[in-house]
Amino acid sequence: MAFRLTGDREQVRLYLLTAILFISYLCVAIALPVVPVFVTGTLGLGNGWAGLGVGIAFLATILTRGYAGGLADGRGARLAVQRGLLFYVAGALISLASGLSLQAPAAAFAILVAGRLSIGLGESLVAVGVIAWGIGLVGPGRSGRVLALVGAAIYGALGLGAPLGLLLLDNMGFAGTMAVSAVLPLLGLAAIRSVPAVAAHPGKERPPLAAVIGRIWVHGLIVCLQGVGFAAIGSFFTLYFRDLGWDQAGLGLTAFGSGFVLVRLIFGHLPDRYGGLSVAVVSLAVEAIGQLLIWSAADPTVALIGAFMTGLGCSMIFPAMGREVVHLVAPHLRGTALGGFSAFQDLAYGLTGPLAGVLADRAGYGSVFLVGGATAVCGFVIAVMLRRGKVVTAG
């Protein structure tokens, strides 16, 4: 009975940590649909610049995942999360300043990039820190569940943050929207004091990050390929709807987030029960169908169904592959491994924005979602091969 009570207490703490992540991540979510509208509409720049404005944050995240993982492993997950939340606040305030520099669009965009880079660093620290913290609370045997809850918090925030961000933009302008987003991480910073810290692993011998990546790169590649679909929706769904003259442009991320969170909450246990690769194979097939529905949609309802199905498909791929990664490395390397693993997803997010922006300029917004479907199919093929033992990783 005492063991059960202890487990229940740890589970409550995990849910509290998830709720804190949800509130804080609204800072990131609010900006995603707002930045492209601000760049193309207010600053008068092209789709490539809009994609860069979104994607540059993920570049910062990619470059700092190793740092975030090392900090979480060596000095503790709590410190990593605290620093990340402070970078969220700084990034929102810097972005606010870009909204006050409208007389000089180039300068305003440069300031926006600085703010987005700060947000990207914060994202690296918060995401890796929360995952390491959650696994430390409930143990590696439930790592799939931890990753599922973390994703539910992030994408639930994305689902709420998209329409909220556009609503704030319409009523408060870009600077006002960024001011609101700066407050949310401060709430998270205050709340994490109630969650007990978990032990760090200082002084352990650590192989180079490249050696860790060598063990997990195929799993990371699968996550990278699935990430294109979400990045396409996050960067261009709103512009796609507006270009076609359709209403409810802000509901794309809401539809995606609804499907995403629904699967995470109901089926979050599946990777731990059946293995990550089996779950990933089914998920990638569903994502591909969703992306192709958006590409071929003749009306907004079909496009929103496609976004919902993309969310259903994307939902379990990260925790499914992450669960495999956790069991491939020693305990003192989990944060580093998850940091490197997460960087593959960030790579998809960072590259999709600017590259898809160029594609959209030349072939229309629909082509972006065709590419998203194609990359999901590629991920499906690799997952099937890995499950059958036809792909070998280093180590």
- Owning domain of residue 94: 2-387
Q: Is residue 394 part of a domain?
A: no
29 vs 42, 95, 306, CA distance in Å? 20, 14, 20
Q: Is residue 13 part of a domain?
A: yes
How far is 36 from 33, CA to CA, in rounded Å?
Answer: 6
pLDDT in tens, 53-81: 887 887 788 788 778 777 877 778 888 89
The CATH number of whichever domain residue 256 belongs to comes to 1.20.1250.20
pLDDT in tens, 7-36: 577 778 888 888 888 988 899 889 888 998
Tokens 């696994």, located at residue: 135
| For residue 189, pLDDT beyond 60 | yes
Q: Is residue 225 part of a domain?
A: yes
Q: Is residue 72 part of a domain?
A: yes
pLDDT in tens, 122-140: 988 988 888 888 888 877 7
| In the chain, % of residues over pLDDT 90 | 23
User: Average pLDDT for residues 175-190, to the nearest whole number?
Assistant: 92
Looking at residue 237, what is its pLDDT? Answer: 86
Q: Is residue 183 part of a domain?
A: yes
Q: Is residue 360 part of a domain?
A: yes
How far is 378 from 287, CA to CA, in rounded Å?
Answer: 11
The model's confidence at residue 209, banded by pLDDT at 50, 70 and 90, is low
Residues 45/39, Cβ–Cβ less than 8 Å: yes
What is the SS3 assignment for 288? helix
pLDDT in tens, 313-371: 988 888 888 888 877 777 767 777 777 787 787 778 777 877 888 888 888 888 899 99
Structure tokens at 42: 């207010």
pLDDT in tens, 93-109: 999 999 887 778 889 99
Q: Is residue 367 part of a domain?
A: yes
| For residue 166, pLDDT beyond 60 | yes
- Give the end-to-end CA distance of the chain in Å, rounded to a whole number: 41
User: What total number of domains does the chain contain?
Assistant: 1
Q: Which residue has the higher pLDDT, 57 or 390?
A: 57
pLDDT in tens, 267-303: 877 777 777 888 899 999 999 999 999 999 888 999 9
Q: Is residue 245 part of a domain?
A: yes
The model's confidence at residue 263, banded by pLDDT at 50, 70 and 90, is confident
